[in-house]
């Protein structure tokens, strides 16, 4: 007699998702996923979030993964998957563990080469798999029942260990069939270990280089997050006593309340006095820095790679050589034990610093401008804030906001897909503790891409505060290359909330015109519960950050070079 417990393929997947720590998954249903969804929603501890479209479901999963460390989106074959793929590509660029699950055609149709719906009419049913292969760490396609458990386990483990999205396709006729239930735990997954010899050699070479330098300085980059090396970076900063900057995409990874934090290094648009310190350093210690045209302001940043120590997720390079299989956190921890104090860069920064003049407070009746908007948003930020900024001027506004210890910051600067933050806001909010408040900065152009996800926030009663800067167009594109294509149709953005509320929603939309209006709106928003608050902030078309204008000029030149 066989006493092995049996579960459906869908239930097996659900159990493994819960085991990996997942509480929510994001979906848009389709005929190839309906049986699978039945199994997932029956899984104890797992809740379905139905989004308005697959792109937004992907953005929501992106935001959830940023906060919880792992996420899943479930969509139907091809028509759902190819809508999701844009969000998956963005998640790949930001090293997010996002499991993209797609229902697949009936395995018999695949074997018999039938032409089926939700395809382009060809007999090849591997199209979606090949498309996803370019933006994920691995693809798994369950077309035989005997492969189901192994592929599900491998897909989740790969997603978590590679810190990248993974594509998992399951034939629709298999999801309700029985297989043996999980008999062992997949988690926790053992952490990868450095090669001892390579680690020791890398540390010794770095110690010699730092000790021989006059003004070493640290730059903390975005790859610190997937390497889970935030505490190790802090330990090295404490050991060296030198100046520490972050790249714009790494804001919030290193505490901005730390006494050695000097701001954002972003070439020509860096924080005051920051570029002078970093660019004059004779030993830049680059921790997880990813150099792109955006993060270097059109390749104008001065990274001295001929003298720098460049620390990647699993590799350290410097003039002395490349040290492979050396993991970031282990390297930083070992380096902190041996390195000498080197405070010259910090002392120089302190000499440069001048008292920061307080920002002028606008009169209550003054027409709202960007400066006053940033001042009032800063007053809302505390240790329980998660701040999201969408692509555009919000990047630069976000850089000006000081994050107290405990606050988190989310940006998609590598992929830079406008509208990302609307869906990501939903995901971050669902992954956050109840006492944490999500605040999002988004422009009108970005919002028009993904606006309907406000409806999902209302449906599931999440309560972020969204500041929508309405200046009549794509401001970031205006600064890169202006033209009539950068103008958009104005909407009644605050009024959209009532449309989405219908008869039972608790969203709140407020349009402000003056500084006093904004103060009242913020006070109302903080107290609001049971749904999102959207505060529409009309601004003049040219009321944008001066840093955006300068950055845009440099990036435009980089784009135009021949």
Distance CA 504, CA 357 (A): 47
> DSSP string covering 55-78, please?
HHHHHHHHHHHHHHS-EEEEE-TT
> Partners of 106 in the beta sheet?
none
- C-alpha–C-alpha distance, residues 402 and 158, integer Å: 36
Give the pLDDT confidence of 14-39 residue by residue, as tens digits. 999 999 999 999 999 999 999 999 99
Phi then psi for residue 55, to 5 deg, are -60, -45
* Residue 55 and residue 450 in contact, taking contact as beta carbons nearer than 8 Å: yes
| Strands 166-171 vs 98-104: parallel, antiparallel or unpaired | parallel
Q: pTM, whole model, 2 decimals? A: 0.95
For residue 512, the 8-state DSSP code is: -
Predicted pLDDT at 1: 42
Give binding residues as ranges. Answer: 444, 471, 473
Residue 88 host element (H or E): helix 81-93
Token duo for residue 382:
């505390």
In the predicted structure, residue 451 carries a pLDDT above the cut 90: yes
- In degrees rounded to 5, what are phi and psi of residue 145? -60, -35
pLDDT bin (cut points 50, 70, 90) of residue 479 is low
At 241-258, the pLDDT tens digits run: 999 999 999 999 999 999
- Average pLDDT, whole number, for the chain? 95
Binding site listing for Mg(2+): 444, 471, 473
CA distances to 62, 384, 423, 438 from 387, in Å: 15, 10, 14, 6
Mean pLDDT of 547-553: 90
What span, in angstroms and rounded, lies between the C-alpha atoms of 9 and 173?
A: 10
Residue 343's pLDDT band (cuts 50, 70, 90): very high
Average pLDDT for 277-281? 98
What token pair was written down for 227?
């390497």
The secondary structure of residue 487, as a DSSP letter, is B
Residue 306 has pLDDT above 60, yes or no: yes
Of the CA atoms within 13 Å of residue 391, those in its CB half-sphere come to: 21
Query: Which sign, positive or negative, has the C-alpha torsion 517, 519, 522, 528?
Result: negative
Q: Is 90 exceeded by the pLDDT of residue 113?
A: no
For the chain, what percent of residues have pLDDT higher than 70? Answer: 98
Q: Is the pLDDT of residue 114 over 90?
A: no
Q: What percent of the chain has pLDDT over 90?
A: 85
Q: How many CA atoms lie within 13 A of 160 on its CB side?
A: 23
Phi, psi angles (nearest 5°) of residue 60: -65, -40
Ordered by where they begin, the domains of the chain are 6-180 (3.40.50.970), 196-352 (3.40.50.1220), 370-560 (3.40.50.970)
Q: In terms of Cα–Cα distance, which of 98, 38, 102 is closest to 74?
A: 102
On whether the CB atoms of residues 420 and 394 are closer than 8 A, the answer is: no
Evaluate the omega torsion of the peptide bond into residue 372 and state whether it is cis, within 30 degrees of 0: no
CB neighbours of residue 117 within 10 Å: 11
In sign, the C-alpha dihedral spanning 293, 247, 445, 557 is negative
Q: Name the β-bridge partners of 311.
A: 287, 316
Average pLDDT over residues 534-553: 90
Residues 6+ apart with CB under 8 A from 309: 206, 209, 210, 283, 284, 285, 286, 316, 317, 318
How would you classify the pairing of strands 408-411 and 465-470? Answer: unpaired
């Amino acid at each position: 007699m066989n006493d092995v417990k049996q579960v459906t393929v869908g239930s097996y997947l659900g159990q493994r998702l819960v085991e990996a720590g997942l509480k929510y998954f994001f979906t848009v249903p389709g005929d190839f996923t309906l049986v699978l969804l039945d199994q997932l929603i029956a899984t104890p501890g797992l809740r379905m979030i139905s989004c308005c479209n697959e792109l937004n479901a992907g953005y929501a999963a992106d935001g959830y993964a940023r906060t919880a460390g792992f996420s899943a989106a479930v969509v139907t074959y091809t028509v759902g998957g190819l809508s999701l793929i844009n969000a998956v590509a963005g998640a790949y660029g930001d090293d997010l563990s996002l499991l993209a699950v797609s229902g697949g055609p009936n395995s018999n149709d695949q074997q018999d080469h039938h032409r089926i719906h939700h395809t382009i009419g060809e007999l090849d049913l591997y199209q979606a798999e090949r498309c996803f292969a370019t933006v994920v760490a691995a693809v798994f396609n369950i077309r035989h029942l005997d492969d189901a458990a192994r592929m599900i386990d491998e897909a989740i483990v790969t997603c978590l260990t590679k810190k990248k999205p993974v594509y998992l396709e399951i034939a629709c006729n298999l999801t309700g069939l029985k297989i043996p239930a999980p008999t062992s735990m997949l988690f926790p997954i053992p952490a990868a270990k450095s090669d001892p010899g390579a680690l020791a050699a890398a540390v010794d070479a770095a110690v010699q280089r730092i000790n021989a330098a006059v003004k070493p300085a640290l730059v903390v980059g975005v790859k610190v997050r997937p390497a889970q090396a935030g505490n190790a970076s802090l330990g090295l900063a404490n050991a060296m006593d030198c100046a520490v900057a972050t790249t714009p995409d790494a804001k919030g990874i290193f505490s901005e309340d730390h006494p050695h934090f000097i701001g954002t290094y972003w070439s020509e648009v860096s924080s005051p006095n920051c570029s002078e310190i970093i660019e004059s350093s004779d030993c830049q210690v680059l921790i997880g820095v990813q150099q792109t045209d955006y993060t270097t302001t059109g390749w104008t940043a001065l990274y001295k790679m001929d003298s720098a120590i460049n620390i990647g997720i699993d590799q350290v390079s410097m003039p002395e050589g490349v040290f492979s299989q050396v993991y970031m956190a282990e390297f930083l921890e070992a380096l902190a034990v041996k390195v000498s104090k080197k405070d010259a860069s910090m002392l120089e920064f302190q000499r440069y610093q001048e008292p920061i003049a307080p920002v002028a407070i606008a009169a209550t009746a003054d027409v709202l401008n960007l400066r006053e908007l940033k001042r009032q948003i800063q007053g809302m930020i505390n240790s329980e804030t998660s701040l999201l900024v969408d692509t555009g001027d919000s990047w630069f506004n976000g850089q000006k906001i000081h994050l107290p210890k405990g606050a988190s910051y989310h940006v998609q600067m590598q992929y830079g897909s406008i509208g990302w933050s609307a869906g990501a806001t939903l995901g971050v909010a669902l992954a956050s503790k109840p006492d944490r408040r999500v605040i999002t900065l988004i422009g009108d152009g970005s919002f028009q891409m993904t606006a309907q996800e406000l409806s999902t926030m209302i449906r599931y009663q999440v309560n972020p505060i969204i500041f929508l800067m309405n200046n009549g167009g794509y401001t970031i594109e205006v600064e890169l290359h202006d033209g009539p294509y950068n103008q958009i149709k104005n909407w009644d953005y605050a009024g959209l909330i009532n449309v989405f509320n219908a008869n039972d929603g608790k969203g709140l939309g407020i349009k402000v015109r003056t500084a006093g209006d904004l103060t009242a709106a913020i006070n109302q928003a903080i107290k609001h519960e049971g749904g999102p608050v959207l505060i529409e902030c009309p601004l003049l078309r040219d009321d944008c950050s001066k840093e955006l204008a300068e950055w845009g000029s440099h990036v435009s030149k980089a784009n135009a070079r021949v």
